[in-house]
């Protein structure tokens, strides 16, 4: 579904990602865990075309590459950015609609509110008045309306209370089961990564230093990369 080979990304002269390779199979869930500044956001942005790769290949059966990022999203990749980036002055429903092309507004998929009933209750409220957890659900809903095959989330638990983190994990697992979605998520919260992913990749200073199936995870070894 998504295959990344020897990806190298620079910001100017600064070499941020070094030969990153990864694979996401259809319907599977992969977590990329690593501390602040290790390159998680850069990697995810490179995958959706927000930052250019200098070397390496990104192949996706969800979307034909290379495409401009807006077309890649349309072609099957949904992106939930770090910090959620919802529009505070727009209503909940208007925020969701920004995930669609204008001419498809009539095809508004009702399934969104089945997954996130709280968003239906609040559909006329301004996005900026929602709690952090509700805004995260909104950002996920916005990414889902285009019916992606792969949902990419950048640190979805950042700034979210523990009880709500559990809810988000449950939502992602339900979405996978019911829509057959594949999920690629970056995280620093290991418990959340283990709740949602089958496979973990550890990123350290722009390199994938460890890759493990959840069932044969050496939890202390992974944790050592996450604690300072």
Ligand X SMILES: Nc1ncnc2c1ncn2[C@@H]1O[C@H](COP(=O)(O)OP(=O)(O)OP(=O)(O)O)[C@@H](O)[C@H]1O
Residues that bind ligand X (CB under 6 A): 11, 14, 16, 34, 36-42, 82, 155
Stretch that binds Mg ion, among 35-43, 57-65, 157-165, 189-197 (CB under 5 A): 35-43
Q: Does 82 bind Mg ion (CB under 5 A)?
A: yes
Residue 157 in the binding site for Mg ion (CB under 5 A) = no
Write out the DSSP string of 175-191. Answer: HHHHH--EEEEEES-HH
3-class secondary-structure state, position 154: strand
Q: Which residues pair with 150 in a beta bridge?
A: 77, 182
Residue 103 DSSP label: G
Q: Per the structure block, which two tokens stand in for 207?
A: 């390199």
> Which residue, 24 or 38, is less far from ligand X as judged by CB?
38
**Interacting residue with Mg ion among 41, 135, 137, 171 (CB under 5 A):** 41
Dist. CA 167–CA 171, nearest whole Å: 6
Which among Mg ion, ligand X, none contacts residue 195 (Cβ within 5 to 8 A by kind)?
none
Distance in Å, CB of 43 to ligand X, minimum: 7
Handedness of CA 132, 133, 134, 140 (dihedral sign): positive
38 binds, among Mg ion, ligand X, none (CB under 5 to 8 A by kind): ligand X
Residue closer to Mg ion, measured from CB, 43 or 141? 43
């Amino acid at each position: 579904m998504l295959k990344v080979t020897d990806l190298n990304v620079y910001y100017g002269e600064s070499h941020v990602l070094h030969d990153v390779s990864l694979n996401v199979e259809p319907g599977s869930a992969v977590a990329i865990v690593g501390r602040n500044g290790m390159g998680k956001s850069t990697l995810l942005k490179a995958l959706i075309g927000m930052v250019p790769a200098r070397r390496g290949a990104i192949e996706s059966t969800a979307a034909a590459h290379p495409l401009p990022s807006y077309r890649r999203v349309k072609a099957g990749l949904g992106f939930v950015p770090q910090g959620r980036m919802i529009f505070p002055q727009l209503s909940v429903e208007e925020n969701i609609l920004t995930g669609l092309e204008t001419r498809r507004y009539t095809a508004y998929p009702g399934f969104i509110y089945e997954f996130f009933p709280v968003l239906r209750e609040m559909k006329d409220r301004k996005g900026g008045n929602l709690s952090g957890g509700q805004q995260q659900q909104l950002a996920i809903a916005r990414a889902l309306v285009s019916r992606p095959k792969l949902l990419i989330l950048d640190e979805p638990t950042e700034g979210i209370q523990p009880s709500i983190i559990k809810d988000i994990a449950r939502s992602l697992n339900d979405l996978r089961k019911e829509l057959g979605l594949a999920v690629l998520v970056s995280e620093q919260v290991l418990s959340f990564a283990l709740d949602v992913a089958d496979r973990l990749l550890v990123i350290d200073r722009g390199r994938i230093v460890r890759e493990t199936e959840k069932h044969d995870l050496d939890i202390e070894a992974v944790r050592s990369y996450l604690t300072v």
